[in-house]
Structure 1
Amino acid sequence: MIFNNMILILPFTLLMASCSIPENINEKWYQQRWCEQKDGQVEVILKDKTRCDCLTDDYAIEVDFSRKWAEAVGQSLHYAKMTGKQAGILLIVENKNDKKHLARLKSVITFHNLPITVWTTRQSELD
């Protein structure tokens, strides 16, 4: 019985994995391309040895996949504190499911009146 269930689950799991972002396109790929377009510096090491994903003239930006939106809030605020710049989040939104994470992020920022600017991107915008 367990073996039969595994046979049914495996193809479904493989199908779901194939619908996600390709393995070779990681956060750093998005980070480098987007930050370069904004004339920013990538992976700036701060005084406390943390790394700001993208530092522009005005913003300290955390780049993350949409599912990591909550982590991005804290990191962006920390980078802003360390640099004296405005907090920013670049959220990678590749599919419809990712949009729920974007909505959560925006609602938390609004509810708490957080000083965070949010941008979104997807692979097709950076190719």
Structure 2
Amino acid sequence: MFTERRIERHQLPCFLKVFNRVTDKPMGSIGSVCEDGLMLISQLPMMVGAVFDLRLKIPAIDGVVQVIDLRACCLWCHEDATPHHYDAGFVIEHVPPEYGQVVSGLRHYFSFYPVSASV
């Protein structure tokens, strides 16, 4: 059975940047997401146990950017396979409904689908 991927998994960090909600400065990119957390890929290590105010800016087709604010605690951080990059795992304290929609949308977008057979 043939499968088709809409976009390669390794391209996710190119699309979804994570910002510090207080300063609006970029912190890194999303490496992965789940219902109650995310993995951040950054150029600086994150302090484990610290609580961060994060902001996701989700691009939409019509050019409007959806902003999702999150408060999350860093559970772990280690050096990435890419030199001078770090992976950090966060648990979200209160998951807004918009974040759940992002997780669902990303699962759909980065999944394999059967190729339609021409008859």
Normalized against structure 2, the TM-score is what? Answer: 0.28
- Structure with bigger RCO (C-alpha 8 Å, 6+ apart): 2
- In our comparison, the structure showing a higher alpha carbon Rg is 1
The structure whose residues are more often strand, as a share, is 2
The structure whose residues are more often helix, as a share, is 1
Normalized against structure 1, the TM-score is what? Answer: 0.27
